[in-house]
Amino acid sequence: MQQPICTRCTELEAEIERLSRDPVTGLAGRAVFDQMIGLEFSRAKRTGASLGVLMLDLDHFKAVNDALGHLEGDKVLARVGRVLRASVRGSDTAARYGGEEFVVLVSATSPEGLRVLAERIRKRIERVGLATDPAPYTVSIGCACIHPGDKEGLQIVERADAALYTAKETGRNKVCMAEGAE
């Protein structure tokens, strides 16, 4: 016997939600982020609202997987996911971008607010540890804000990524703002 249509819709909605989440971290997946940045960029351009992106990369994460194994590495990623969920507002989007990279889409905040959020996240992740490895885990974070000349949201992501590489190249475990975001 066929289920009532509303029950089937509910099941499909639950399946879509499950598929849109990264299974290790519980954060949004890359496809969700890509869709959200397009939507939020269009809204910000239309309304003149601010929009920022944090690009995060766990420092020396390959060493964690090599020393402790991928299952323990997944536990670290899951804890980072919990830190990000606890650190951002419901209107923001935290996502696993790939591997040990994460991204946060932050609406309606100033460049200084973006920096404060990034620093709060950096400090919280530094406190993440495992019973089998109590050493702190660190993260490098790049921050970027929308510019008036931007044509698409991915330009903000590119600037955040460049700032992330600056953070990594200048010592890791730090927050760097993209040029023009100060």
Q: What is the pLDDT of residue 47?
A: 95
3-state secondary structure of 129: coil
Q: What angle do CA 76, 162, 179 make, to 5 degrees?
A: 125
The answer as to whether 8 is a domain residue is: no
Query: Which of 99, 24, 23 is CA-nearest to residue 62?
Result: 99
Q: Establish whether 100 is a catalytic residue.
A: yes
**Which residues form the domain of 77?**
24-177
The answer as to whether 171 is a domain residue is: yes
Work out how many domains the chain is built from and give that number.
1
The answer as to whether 17 is a domain residue is: no
Q: What is the pLDDT of residue 96?
A: 97
Q: What is the pLDDT of residue 68?
A: 85
Please count the helices (runs of H) and the strands (runs of E) in the chain.
6, 5
Q: What is the pLDDT of residue 144?
A: 98
Interval 1-18 mean pLDDT: 60
The answer as to whether 7 is a domain residue is: no
Please say if the pLDDT value at position 9 is more than 90. Answer: no
Q: What is the DSSP letter of 86?
A: H
Interval 159-179 mean pLDDT: 97
Backbone angles phi, psi at 108, to 5 degrees: 50, 55
**pTM exceeds 0.95 for this model:** no
The answer as to whether 119 is a domain residue is: yes
Residue with tokens 């954060």: 27
pLDDT confidence tier of residue 182, bands split at 50, 70 and 90 = low
Please say if the pLDDT value at position 92 is more than 80. Answer: yes
Residue 64's CATH number? 3.30.70.270
The answer as to whether 117 is a domain residue is: yes
pLDDT confidence tier of residue 126, bands split at 50, 70 and 90 = confident
The answer as to whether 110 is a domain residue is: yes
Catalytic residue among 11, 15, 17, 100: 100
